[in-house]
Amino acid sequence: MSENIEIRARETIQNIQPYLPGKPIWELQSERGLAQVIKLASNENPLGPSPYALKALNHSLTDIHRYPDANTSILRKEIASKLDVKPEQLIITNGGDELITLVSESFLEPGDEIIIPSPSFSEYEFGANLMGANIIKVPLGENYTFNVDTMIEKVTERTKIICICSPNNPTGTYLSKANLQHLLEALPKDVLVLFDTAYSQYAVAEDYTNGLEFVRAGYPIVVLQTFSKVYGLAGLRVGFGAVPEFIIQHILKVKEPFNVNALAQVAAAAAIHDDEHVHLSLQSNIKGRKQLYRALKELSLPFIESMSNFVLVELGPNAKSVYEQLLDKGIIVRYGGAWNLPCHIRVSVGTKFENEVFIQGLGEIMKS
Ligand SMILES: *Cc1c(COP(=O)(O)O)cnc(C)c1O
């Protein structure tokens, strides 16, 4: 039968590489029959979800026969008041990932160019490939820092978007406020900056910016945030963009009406006000990061100091094998191959106990 059929997919989607998620706990458990599995692969909050969110969810379960609010009015109002932007400057999405797709759909024509620092988050490439845009990769500079001028040099007449992830996944490095301002001012009028601040809450450097001040000032910037990381709601899929009104109108056009489910909306509206949960999470992250740094130094393993909740560790040519051996011990981290970092792994900062198990396991492997 199938020989007579010629269903042709769009050419551009052949360039799409499958996303490689962190291995789920249940999968490793069922593959290897392990009792204890520790996942430090997806930068999730090791303390769990915001308790405010859990309480709100419990109260909302009996309403899920209703469609969600297509305008996400309550959630936008809560985020707006918390972050001092206007509700009209917010678009709520099915995870931050959906915002990246929507921005790509709104602004990229086939043959347009999108500038992406490398290594960085893979979803920018996904959006570009979906639309048939050309990806211009710019390697990060020394110690994986951003070099704004090298990026500006790559701008052509076809450039539509420049992506910046700050703190950057997977390196944990960030772009300073002065450098973001320099970039925004140097760019031609028709280039949009997609500024991904999924980890902004973890960044404490004085010269860090989450980009919102530039949204308020009306620069051509889309600031991405998510409830998946510090707020602990990765499983519900909710994130948002903060965007000047004259730009957001285009993105809203391609959004599906019910893109964010009712439970996600309710949980996020509660979590955004859960200052205690955020505070505890940040404290735990700072301690955990120190714990990892100390152990990595003892093992003489180079790493990049991170402004975030993960650490990029250089293991050398055996990195892939070390990654596999960690899996054998029930410890899931992320192997760097997908970022073209074959000698590295990225480890999320876990609880004290999880970090200990990782350190112990890695120590045993490095000594054998
Ligand atoms: C986690 C993450 C996101 C968004 O994730 P969602 O779960 O889709 O909200 C966006 N950018 C980066 C760099 C991330 O690490």
Q: Which residues pair with 116 in a beta bridge?
A: 137
Assess whether the C-beta atom of 165 lies below 6 angstroms from ligand 1: yes
Which amino acid is it at 175? Answer: L
Question: Is the Cβ–Cβ distance between 137 and 116 less than 8 Å?
Answer: yes
The three-state secondary structure class of 168 is coil
Assess whether the C-beta atom of 97 lies below 6 angstroms from ligand 1: yes
DSSP 8-class letter at 180:
H
Euclidean distance between CA atoms 304 and 343, whole angstroms: 13
Question: Is the Cβ–Cβ distance between 38 and 331 less than 8 Å?
Answer: yes
Euclidean distance between CA atoms 301 and 114, whole angstroms: 35
Residue range 266-278, pLDDT digits in tens: 999 999 999 999 9
Counting from 1 in the atom list of ligand 1, the atom nearest the Cα of 238 is: 9
pLDDT for 196: 98
Per-residue tokens: 306: 């991170």
Per-residue tokens: 302: 């180079």
Assess whether the C-beta atom of 239 lies below 6 angstroms from ligand 1: yes
Assess whether the C-beta atom of 354 lies below 6 angstroms from ligand 1: no
The architecture CATH gives domain 2-48+276-367: Alpha-Beta Complex (3.90)
> What is the residue whose two structure tokens read 């026969």?
65
Euclidean distance between CA atoms 313 and 319, whole angstroms: 9
Assess whether the C-beta atom of 196 lies below 6 angstroms from ligand 1: yes
Which amino acid is it at 254? Answer: V
Assess whether the C-beta atom of 241 lies below 6 angstroms from ligand 1: no
| pLDDT, averaged across the chain | 96
Question: The domain 62-273 is classified under which CATH number: 3.40.640.10, 3.30.450.40, 3.40.50.1820, 3.30.460.80?
Answer: 3.40.640.10
* pLDDT bracket for residue 251 (50, 70, 90): very high
> What is the residue whose two structure tokens read 């929507």?
102
pTM here is 0.96
Per-residue tokens: 39: 């996942």
* pLDDT bracket for residue 14 (50, 70, 90): confident
Residue range 124-164, pLDDT digits in tens: 999 999 999 999 999 999 999 999 999 999 999 999 999 99
**6-33 mean pLDDT:** 86
Length reported for the chain: 368
Separation of CA 365 and ligand 1 centre (Å): 31
Question: Which residue ranges make up each domain of the chain?
Answer: 2-48+276-367, 62-273
Question: Is the Cβ–Cβ distance between 172 and 203 less than 8 Å?
Answer: no
310 pLDDT exceeds 90?
yes
1 pLDDT exceeds 80?
no
pLDDT for 308: 98
pLDDT for 167: 98
Residue range 92-111, pLDDT digits in tens: 999 999 999 999 999 999 99
What are all long-range contacts of 279-286, with beta carbons under 8 Å and residues at least 24 apart? 280/47, 281/45, 281/47, 281/230, 281/232, 282/201, 282/202, 282/230, 284/46, 284/47, 284/351, 284/352, 285/202, 285/309, 285/349
Separation of CA 325 and ligand 1 centre (Å): 27
Please give the helix or strand (H or E) that residue 118 lies within, else none: strand 113-118
Euclidean distance between CA atoms 209 and 231, whole angstroms: 19
Assess whether the C-beta atom of 68 lies below 6 angstroms from ligand 1: no
Counting from 1 in the atom list of ligand 1, the atom nearest the Cα of 120 is: 13
